Amino acid sequence: MTTVQTGIQPISTSRRVKDRIVHVLVYLAFAIAVIPLVSVLWLVIKNGMHRFDLEFLTHSMRNIGARDAGGGAYHAIIGTLEQVSLASLIAVPIGLLTAVYLVEYGSGGRLARSISFFVDVMTGVPSVVSGLFVLAFWILALGMPFSGFAGAMALSILMMPVVVRSAEEMLRLVPNDLREASYALGVPKWRTIVKVVLPTAFTGIVTGVMLAVARVAGETAPLLLTVFFTDSINNDPFNGPQMGLPLYVFDQAGRPTDTAIDRAWTGALTLILIVMLLNLVARLIAWWRSPAKRGS
Amino acid sequence: MAKQIEVAGLDAYYGAHKAIEGITMTIEPRAVTAFIGPSGCGKSTFLRTLNRMHEVIPGARVEGKVRLEDQDLYGPGVDPVSVRRTIGMVFQRPNPFPTMSIYDNVAAGLRLNGRFSKSELDGIVESSLKGANLWNEVKDRLQKPGSGLSGGQQQRLCIARAIAVRPEVLLMDEPCSALDPISTLAIEDLISSLKRDYTIVIVTHNMQQAARVSDKTAFFNLAGQGQPGKLIEMDETSRIFTNPGQKATEDYITGRFG
């Protein structure tokens, strides 16, 4: 009775020590992960704020000499926005429909399994390879010009697997109960998918698409091979070389003057801001569409 | 409204596994028929064959005949979607559509199937919610999400959603097993009032419930693990619970097994 311990006991010292150690390790890991993120952000903001002005956002690099100050990234901002929107326009519908097929119709068949396999393979394709593919196929073989659209195609190859994977995951999270409830009301399968399954997964799909956009917006290598360079504004993504913010940063950072280096930092800052802004917009859409908004 | 269902020699499979075998029965209109029996005996499977929900599961198939009055539900050219529109279903766990408001949930079956004017929809939503005894509790918050209701209210919302499409038959798969006694009582009262207009089939594990709400009771059992479930007997509920024809039924009802 006195020696055999039964019932509720105090926490032993060794457990207390282990708890402390694991606590410290977890916080340490967190700090190590956050340090590079914060330092990158801080550096970009510190060096980028210097030239982050109206001129930068509204002017191109046309007629800006090698040693001139001033100039801006308007042409690159336009280029990035157009290229990324076009890439999304190609990749999101295809990716979403692929995910719907995999989850709702494929059900582990041979075709579904091979699609799943090739999506995995696509995830691993280095970005420069997708650029090379478009260069070889679209520009060299078909004789099309360098253009924003060629860049968008290269980017969409990179986006597609990310969209498929994330949308697939989200669609699988939709409880089967809801599909059955809809079937039991005499709703055909395609309407069930459109009206019940996709709206339920909507928030998650939006998040996945935004991650894909963010990933692709900073790609430099495929753009180098497909949209080429220009210092002028080109609003037409289907014709002639364009610029993109990653290219702009790459280009300016390679120049020997301080003014160019400053422009490179500001270009990087602008790119981060654009991605953040898109993210914010997507979150707002998701929030606005969610039923929780109406309160429960 | 309210039609009779006749089942003859029905077998149902999941892939190669035969889940139920040789079921023949008549389900009366404007009455409550209860299915009882131990877990895994195929009650729910059988219920799902009645509105062709069984075949939604990959690899599942059915052999035999199910007739709704003079229509063969498994006949060639019969659209399973229209079968499910005619024979509604309420599930074990309440499953309102999370993205929709209470109003939209009830209107879902109508909206997803055709065009209705706003006033038509308003009328049907109100009468369905009244039919499900939920109107007074939710009439001031029809635009709030259905997932904000309590479990019992959600289940009544699902019943309202099912009766909004005016089915001939209502199938209920253990509709009270996730609910507390008060909500259960509300649903049972509802079943008793619904049977004036609908043919109702209810699967239940609760024998008191079967005795309370049903007019006819069917007892299902299976010979052993891996064997298909079979209909042991079906009779007036009062007879099944007082003087069953089969020994197995008596053993089950008196709690000697299962």
What CATH number is associated with residue A207? 1.10.3720.10
The stretch A219-245 carries a mean pLDDT of 89
Contacts of B91 in chain A (CB under 8 A): 177, 180-181, 184
A30, A83: one domain: no
Residue B41 has pLDDT above 80, yes or no: yes
For A126-183, the pLDDT digits (tens) are: 999 999 999 999 989 998 888 999 999 999 999 999 999 999 999 999 999 999 999 9
Per-residue pLDDT at A296: 38
Which of A102, A105, A182, A187 has the highest number of chain B CBs within 10 A, making it the mutation to test binding with B?
A: A187
Question: Higher-confidence residue: B172 or A2?
Answer: B172
Per-residue pLDDT at A11: 82
- In this prediction the ipTM stands at 0.88
The stretch A6-27 carries a mean pLDDT of 91
The answer to whether residue B114 neighbours chain A at the CB level (below 8 Å) is: no
For B119-131, the pLDDT digits (tens) are: 989 999 999 998 8
Contacts of B148 in chain A (CB under 8 A): 296
Within-domain flag for A5: no
Per-residue pLDDT at A295: 43
The answer to whether residue B211 neighbours chain A at the CB level (below 8 Å) is: no
**What radius of gyration, in Å, describes the C-alpha atoms of chain A?**
25
A118, A255: one domain: yes
CB B189 within 8 A of CB B161: no
Contacts of B112 in chain A (CB under 8 A): 182, 185, 187, 191-192, 195
A67, A151: one domain: yes
Q: In what order do the strands lie in the sheet with B32-36?
A: B71-72, B60-68, B5-14, B17-27, B229-236, B216-222, B32-36, B199-203, B169-173, B87-90
8 Å CB contact of A202 and B91: no
Per-residue pLDDT at A127: 92
A108, A242: one domain: yes
A137, A32: one domain: no
CB A237 within 8 A of CB A149: yes
The stretch A249-265 carries a mean pLDDT of 91
8 Å CB contact of A186 and B109: yes
Within-domain flag for A228: yes
For B66-116, the pLDDT digits (tens) are: 999 888 999 888 999 989 989 999 999 999 998 889 999 999 988 877 778
Please, which pLDDT band fits residue B257 given cuts at 50, 70 and 90?
low
Per-residue pLDDT at B1: 58
Q: What is the mean pLDDT of chain B?
A: 89
A173, A60: one domain: yes
What are the angstrom distances between the C-alpha of B117 and each of A75, B114, B123, B150? 51, 10, 10, 30
Nearest to B134 by CA among B177, B68, B183: B183
Q: B229-236 and B71-72: which strand pairing?
A: unpaired
Domain that holds residue A134: 55-295
The stretch B140-151 carries a mean pLDDT of 89
The stretch B230-252 carries a mean pLDDT of 90
Q: Residue A286's closest chain B neighbor by CA?
A: B99
Helix (H) or strand (E) holding A114, with range, is helix A110-123
- Number of structural domains chain A divides into: 2
Per-residue pLDDT at B70: 85
Please, which pLDDT band fits residue A6 given cuts at 50, 70 and 90?
confident
DSSP A104: I
Residue A101 has pLDDT above 90, yes or no: yes
Within-domain flag for A9: no
- Percentage of chain A with pLDDT > 90? 65
Of the ranges A1-10, A153-162, B172-181, B198-207, which one carries the lowest mean pLDDT score?
A1-10
A289, A268: one domain: yes
Within-domain flag for A98: yes
Within-domain flag for A112: yes
A37, A59: one domain: no
Given A7, A27, A48, the domain boundary residue is: A48
Of the ranges A74-83, B25-34, B222-231, which one carries the lowest mean pLDDT score?
B222-231
Residue A1 has pLDDT above 60, yes or no: no
- Using a CB–CB cut-off of 8 Å, the residues of A that contact B are 107, 175, 177-188, 191-192, 195-196, 199-200, 202, 290-292, 294-296
Residue A2 has pLDDT above 60, yes or no: no
Residue A294 has pLDDT above 60, yes or no: no
- Residues in CB range of B91: below 8 A, 6 or more apart: A177, A180, A181, A184, B158, B173, B175
8 Å CB contact of B144 and A191: no
Q: Residue A291's closest chain B neighbor by CA?
A: B99
Of the ranges A156-160, A244-248, A278-282, which one carries the lowest mean pLDDT score?
A278-282
8 Å CB contact of A180 and B85: no
Per-residue pLDDT at A284: 87
CA–CA dist A281, B91 (Å, integer): 38
Per-residue pLDDT at A279: 87
